[in-house]
Amino acid sequence: MKKTIAAALTLVALASGATFAQGVYSRPFDNRPVPAQGPQYNNDQYQDELKIDRIDAIVGLSRRQEKQLRKIENNYDQLMARSRMTPDGYRQLQLRKRQDVLAVLTSAQRDRLFAAQQPNRNYNRPTPYGRRG
């Protein structure tokens, strides 16, 4: 009789413990989306694509030049991810990256890129709101 009562109490204790136990969540607690399986296409890669597309729209890159620019972007992204830099080191790395990108372009393409980067201001035109407007 004692064994039956002990077994019944154990069964009740285990059943009630399982009932009150918290269930397993299938999603993270803060409702972030579940990470996708496979290659990640993060915001940095998207920004790089936009930059290369913008340069392509301005200067008209060839396929070979696009591949070289993507390779340069990937190399510098890996360098920045692997090392911790000071702001001055980061600035120097950005300068080297810009020089490498410009080395891929022809002289005519560089001229078109520089012309597109210059602000289109006409200093002889009067402003409608006066000097400070």
Mean pLDDT score across all residues of the chain: 76
pLDDT at 49 over 70: no
What does pTM read for this prediction? Answer: 0.54
Which comes out higher in pLDDT, residue 124 or 82?
82
What distance in Å separates the CA atoms of residue 94 and residue 88, rounded to the nearest whole number? Answer: 10
Task: Encode pLDDT of 58-116 as tens digits.
Answer: 888 889 998 999 899 889 888 888 878 788 888 888 889 889 988 998 888 888 888 88
Share of the chain above pLDDT 70, in %: 63
- At residue 57 the predicted structure's pLDDT band, cuts being 50, 70 and 90, is confident
What distance in Å separates the CA atoms of residue 49 and residue 43, rounded to the nearest whole number? Answer: 10
What distance in Å separates the CA atoms of residue 119 and residue 117, rounded to the nearest whole number? Answer: 6
The residue type of 97 is K
Which comes out higher in pLDDT, residue 36 or 12?
12
* Coil, strand or helix at 121: coil
Residue 71's pLDDT is 92
25-32 average pLDDT score: 56
- At residue 35 the predicted structure's pLDDT band, cuts being 50, 70 and 90, is low
Nearest to 45 by CA among 76, 82, 83, 68: 76
Q: Are 73 and 48 in contact (CB under 8 A)?
A: yes
Residue 118's pLDDT is 78
